Amino acid sequence: MPIILCFTLLSFNNSSGETFSLSNSISLVGSIKTHIVNKGESLIEIARHYDLGYNEIVDANPEFDPFVPEEGSKVIIPTFWILPEKQNNFHGIIINLSEMRLYYFYKKGKEELVTTFPIGIGDDGVETPLGKFKISHKIINPPWYVPESIKKERPELPAVVPPGPDNPLGTHAMRLSGLSYLIHGTNRPWAVGRKVTHGCIRLYPEDIPQLFDMVPVGTEVIIVRQPVKVAKINNDVYVEVHRDDQLQNFDYLQNAMEQLAKKGILKYVDTFKLYSVIKQKTGIPTSVSIKNKEPQLLLQEPWL
């Protein structure tokens, strides 16, 4: 699968979740684009326009100041993803905390589809829980019943925040079974792609209505932490690596090699390319094939 490089000028009509067909058991979706920075733009605004999280655009462009990127510069838009591991015929939501992204797998007619959205997740000490859940309730214009833990931090808050611009749950919310955690919108769009919640999962204000309308009550939700993903498309092996500070002493290289060996494709991998991708952790699927004719998105820095 070729990596497509596109040059785009920004008009701020924000994008919403991207949908892809999963015909032929495809495991890689999307394409790389490039955006030319206009005067006054920040990476935060550019990320939201392309429906990316803050983490995704910053990790893909580590050489830029995220608040004041140089006007006229080319910014990589990493709308290109290896799909998370799942069972065949799985229909439901997979949330990968390592990349701060949600994938909804579903069937429409006879077509298998996936729609994906960036998310904000729980901060250190109040992490979003891992495991298997279901969507138990759906609420439009939810009131926010302020938890005691947050009341202790912010005693000025009322017991209940009504729907409206000051409500951090946004316009729509979906509750996870057996938990007090929600998948919801936000009144702070900058929080998407960051660890800022008390365990809930936040989507952009323009994304949550779309997901809310698509997902029925009872939908399965699987929350995982998968910083390394691998896939083979035709004759090319791709590896996608996300920096996950929550994983202490995690061996990214060993994990990648184990996944590649399990899929029987380790023999096709250029070790130096694999080392480079592991070191850089850009979050971009990058070819690590021994014989690779695709353009590489590797930074020009010496291997240490």
**Helix H or strand E segment including 35:** strand 33-36
**Which tokens hold the place of 228?**
């390394």
- C-alpha–C-alpha distance, residues 220 and 245, integer Å: 27
Catalytic, 200? Answer yes
| b/e code 157-187 from CB counts within 10 Å (16+ = b) | eeeebeeeeebbbbbbbbbbeeeebbbbbbe
**Bridge partners, residue 87, by sequence:** none
CA dihedral 290, 294, 298, 302 (to 10 degrees): 50
- C-alpha–C-alpha distance, residues 302 and 280, integer Å: 11
Cα angle vertex 203, ends 197, 205, to 5°?
120
Q: Which of 35, 49, 172, 200 is catalytic?
A: 200
Question: Contact 282/78 with Cβ under 8 angstroms?
Answer: yes
Q: Which of 35, 172, 184, 242 is catalytic?
A: 184
Cα angle vertex 258, ends 223, 95, to 5°?
10
- C-alpha–C-alpha distance, residues 119 and 201, integer Å: 6
Catalytic, 184? Answer yes
Question: Contact 204/119 with Cβ under 8 angstroms?
Answer: no
**Helix H or strand E segment including 50:** none
Q: CB-based contacts of 128: which residues, under 8 Å, 6+ apart?
A: 95, 97, 121, 122, 181, 197, 199, 200, 201, 223
Catalytic residues: 184, 200
